[in-house]
């Protein structure tokens, strides 16, 4: 007598078919007891509509409130498939039903096994996790917190990778963000040539630091002529004025 009790959503259940088989009673007789004492069974909770094929565990199709529900079971017999009704019972309902059955050696043995399985399943649900499992879970949570903090923390300014774009892409992006802006490829190339914005050469292409370019444009720089003169004078020996 195995698998007399099933767990569904942390609740324990059996059914009238299992009880009838285990006690050697006709299923209709067991089912009739539930129907006769339906009000008493409902004091311990509701039942559920189930569907079970031969040899398979029951699966809930519908949960009802306020009454004992009729359940369906389909079994393969020599005459083909047959469907009959039965009831799903929670632990108190099952134990109450067992008190309504007449005792004999088979019934008493089944009662003992059913109570034992209900008890074992209940203890398994209530059993706290071992201490080492709690420690592992706590350690894992700490690791997750550290990882999340590292992933969400802002990077230092020096570690941020600048957006490098070709000159033509810089012009295209600026005009997309600010339509009507009068800026040209040659203008940006002039800024690159005079070292006004950072850039990198790769083969025949020149990639401009787009963020620095935007910052330069927004900084109200002096006219390009003054910038050119300043750059040309840099590194040149000049006459000292006394």
Residue 132 lies in a domain: no
Q: 0.85 exceeded by the pTM? A: no
Does residue 32 sit in the same domain as residue 98?
yes
Which string of DSSP letters, residue by residue, matches 121-170? HHHHHHPPPPHHHHHHHHHHHHHHHHHHHHHHSPPPGGGSPP-EEEHHHH
Dihedral angle computed from the Cα positions of residues 212, 214, 219 and 225, in that order, rounded to the nearest 10 degrees? 80
∠ CA 133-136-141 to the nearest 5 degrees? 125
Does residue 12 sit in the same domain as residue 121?
yes
DSSP-derived 3-state class of residue 105: helix
Does residue 11 sit in the same domain as residue 122?
yes
**What pLDDT is stored for residue 25 in this prediction?**
92
Does residue 65 sit in the same domain as residue 16?
yes
Does residue 105 sit in the same domain as residue 43?
yes
Does residue 168 sit in the same domain as residue 122?
no
Domain range for 209 is 164-233
pLDDT digits (tens, 9 = 90+) for 2-37: 789 988 888 888 989 899 999 999 988 998 898 888
Spatial separation of the C-alpha atoms in residues 200 and 132, rounded to whole Å: 56
pLDDT digits (tens, 9 = 90+) for 104-146: 989 999 999 999 899 888 888 887 767 777 787 788 888 877 8
Distance of CA 77 to the CA centre of its chain: 43
């Amino acid at each position: 007598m195995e698998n007399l009790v099933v767990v569904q959503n942390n609740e324990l259940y059996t059914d009238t078919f299992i009880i009838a088989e285990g006690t050697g009673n006709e299923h209709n007789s067991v089912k009739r007891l539930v129907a006769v004492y339906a009000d008493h069974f409902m004091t311990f909770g509701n039942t559920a509509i189930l569907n079970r094929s031969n040899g398979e565990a029951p699966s809930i199709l519908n949960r009802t409130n306020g009454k004992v529900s009729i359940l369906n079971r389909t079994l393969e017999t020599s005459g083909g498939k047959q469907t009959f009704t039965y009831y799903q019972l929670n632990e108190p309902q099952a134990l109450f039903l067992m008190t309504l059955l007449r005792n004999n050696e088979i019934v008493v043995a089944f009662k003992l096994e059913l109570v034992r399985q209900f008890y074992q399943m209940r203890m398994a649900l209530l059993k706290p996790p071992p201490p080492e499992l709690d420690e592992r879970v706590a350690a894992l949570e700490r690791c997750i917190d550290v990882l999340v903090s590292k992933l969400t923390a802002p990077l230092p300014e020096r570690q941020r990778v600048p957006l490098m774009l070709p000159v033509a892409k810089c012009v295209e992006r600026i005009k997309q963000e600010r339509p009507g802006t009068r800026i040209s490829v040659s203008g940006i190339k002039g800024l690159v040539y005079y070292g006004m914005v950072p850039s990198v050469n790769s083969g025949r292409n020149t990639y401009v630091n787009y963020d620095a370019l935007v910052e330069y444009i927004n900084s109200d720089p002096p006219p390009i002529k003054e910038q050119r003169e300043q750059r040309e004078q840099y590194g040149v020996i000049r006459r000292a004025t006394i």
